[in-house]
Structure 1
């Protein structure tokens, strides 16, 4: 009888341990998704025009080119490196395309020139980092000024505009109804980078280098070659972004993409990619891209000046970097 009573007490719902929430629900990606939903609702209330399909489609043009660069940059940051010359690479690639257009080149050649210049710039960064062992932040601060300076020397105050009419499709065309060519490219690339990072040996090497470069080297991974590939990949996609941006604007100016570095790095770090390397997901970056896009659109609906937007983006970047450390300090103080 006693055993029966004990069993009934143990099986009582009051004695059962509380169910834990699923891990995915506690993830940074889920938190970001919730923030995105809240911002979407607020924007819908703030403006009756926000939910118009064409308004939403036009809003994607504000972040798509940046988002395309954020995808490979996430991999660079995961391996404990950084590239802050991305906007300057766009400017130099666009300038090269502008001169190619002036010489009468066709759309294929113009695009090839843009991607080639971007790739060479990324490779140059990678060689300086991997062969000369110069910290990437030092290298890319230097090349940020170098590439932008070359652009100003080549263009001065002029703008290059004589692009072929068909070139405008890359930045202004639509694949289906309100779905732009740019946005379609971003979604396809996001899927490809997700597979690359999460499902392939290349992705596993990326995480291994980020967690412990020395251990990765002694396990047989060519760390320098891997980093060189990643920097070159960033340069290539800067070239791709320059094609879309130049096509959308219809001209090349020396100030094109000026100040984009902050927004792109914020997209990556806000997406949960640790600035210290070793962790992060493409899904998080994709969600953070939409969060940043929605914030930008919302501030635009409220007629907030661009300089204030930059301040808000800067605060977001600092907050995301400082938040994990602040939580650790709080946990430590509570334990003590």
Structure 2
């Protein structure tokens, strides 16, 4: 009788819980990004003039606040192996709606609510095309990126609205009393806690990882894949709408081209923070560290006199390195798992073929 051996390849999993807790906590991409962030801060404090100024902290956090906000739902979307490239265009569209409605005499709070609802409706369009029509999210959101941006520019043309209630613009630029930390950090922390609990401590969050690892298996296990993804796109649109309102107040400027190109910064930060572009892996603390790393590095380089073009090149290199390193680590893990499976198969076959006494 001849024993038959088969090569066993381990399925994709989010995390190897067989490893000790300290290894799962420290030997991760998220921990590495946090370590690099700390290193960049320490080096900048010692070498870059005025980096330790409270104003630097204030302007840094103000500038990256929209990216921090939108990175929260973007993390959940990419974990499900989808993507939303239209977020910056939704920021521009909600900014334009805020300006137009305020100029028309609508009270600013009401204008802001309508702008956020417009962002949510943009998310509905994305979600419908992806989950109901069945189109790839990459193609859909490339199209809606141009669509929403075109609507925003078409509504205002080349003009800009700069007349907003002073109490609201002052609030957007205000700091937490006695600190250099902008007030916008408060709603961000609240949203971050909500998204972190949703992702890491609820069945809904576990379903996102399951969808990203294998959407067919997730479907047959009882997860409504379409509804889950639709919800994420609506959340992304609503948060982008809120970021657009903040962006408008921060710069006292409503224009159709506001936040142009921001989607690349958001996706770069999410991938750099340890979220796999192939889905099924990622954590919010790594993403927040990724946003802070890109923002801190850009701030330090600008203070050091480096041009924006060079900073964009560095951001692009970081994005490529993060994706390549993730793919390389995944390939090494699969190769190691396959080798272990083959060894176990050979041992099992040898044991089955051994004569019994």
Q: TM-score, normalised by structure 2?
A: 0.84
Aligned to 1:113: 114
Secondary structure at 2:184's aligned position in 1?
Answer: helix
Secondary structure at 2:176's aligned position in 1?
Answer: strand
Aligned to 2:46: 45
Counterpart of 1:241 (choices 240, 243, 248) is: 243
Query: Given the superposition, is the C-alpha separation of residues 328 and 165 from structure 1 closer, same or farther in structure 2, using an over 3 Å criterion?
Result: closer
Query: Given the superposition, is the C-alpha separation of residues 20 and 189 from structure 1 closer, same or farther in structure 2, using an over 3 Å criterion?
Result: closer
Q: C-alpha distance in 1, partners of 2:224/2:85?
A: 24
Q: Is the 1:91–1:151 Cα contact (8 Å) retained in structure 2?
A: yes
Deviates more, 1:278-287 or 1:23-32: 23-32
Q: C-alpha distance in 2, partners of 1:21/1:128?
A: 43
Deviates more, 1:317-326 or 1:223-232: 317-326
Deviation at 1:280, TM superposition (A): 0.4
Counterpart of 2:187 (choices 185, 188, 191) is: 185
Deviation at 1:287, TM superposition (A): 1.2
Counterpart of 1:273 (choices 263, 272, 275) is: 275
| CA deviation vs aligned residue, 1:39-62 (integer Å, no higher than 9, x gap) | 001111223421122321221112
Q: Is the 1:67–1:267 Cα contact (8 Å) retained in structure 2?
A: no
Aligned to 1:60: 61
Q: Is the 1:125–1:143 Cα contact (8 Å) retained in structure 2?
A: yes
Aligned to 2:4: none
Aligned to 2:136: 135
Aligned to 1:204: 206
Q: Is the 1:156–1:254 Cα contact (8 Å) retained in structure 2?
A: yes
Query: Given the superposition, is the C-alpha separation of residues 325 and 60 from structure 1 closer, same or farther in structure 2, using an over 3 Å criterion?
Result: same
Q: Is 1:103 matched with 2:111?
A: no
Q: C-alpha distance in 2, partners of 1:115/1:306?
A: 30
Query: Given the superposition, is the C-alpha separation of residues 279 and 247 from structure 1 closer, same or farther in structure 2, using an over 3 Å criterion?
Result: same
Deviation at 1:231, TM superposition (A): 0.2
Aligned Cα root-mean-square deviation (Å)? 1.9
| CA deviation vs aligned residue, 1:148-179 (integer Å, no higher than 9, x gap) | 11111111110011211222145212232222
Deviation at 1:21, TM superposition (A): 6.3
Q: C-alpha distance in 2, partners of 1:21/1:122?
A: 39
Aligned to 1:308: 310
Equivalent residue runs for 1:244-323 within 5 Å:
244-323=246-325
Deviation at 1:184, TM superposition (A): 2.0
Aligned to 2:145: 144
Deviates more, 1:321-330 or 1:142-151: 321-330
Q: C-alpha distance in 1, partners of 2:113/2:287?
A: 28
Q: Which has the higher contact order (CA 8 A, sep 6+)?
A: 2
Q: Is the 1:170–1:244 Cα contact (8 Å) retained in structure 2?
A: no
User: Structure 2: where are the runs of 5+ without partners?
Assistant: 1-19, 340-357
Point out 4+ residue stretches in structure 1 off by more than 4 angstroms: 327-333
| CA deviation vs aligned residue, 1:51-102 (integer Å, no higher than 9, x gap) | 1223212211121111100000000000110000110010111111111011
| CA deviation vs aligned residue, 1:171-196 (integer Å, no higher than 9, x gap) | 21223222211122222221221111
| CA deviation vs aligned residue, 1:234-257 (integer Å, no higher than 9, x gap) | 000001101111000001112210
Q: C-alpha distance in 2, partners of 1:65/1:286?
A: 12
| CA deviation vs aligned residue, 1:74-132 (integer Å, no higher than 9, x gap) | 00000110000110010111111111011111121121121011100011100010111
Q: C-alpha distance in 1, partners of 2:278/2:96?
A: 34
User: Structure 1: where are the runs of 5+ without partners?
Assistant: 1-18
Secondary structure at 2:281's aligned position in 1?
Answer: coil
Q: C-alpha distance in 2, partners of 1:215/1:326?
A: 25
Q: Is the 1:106–1:164 Cα contact (8 Å) retained in structure 2?
A: no
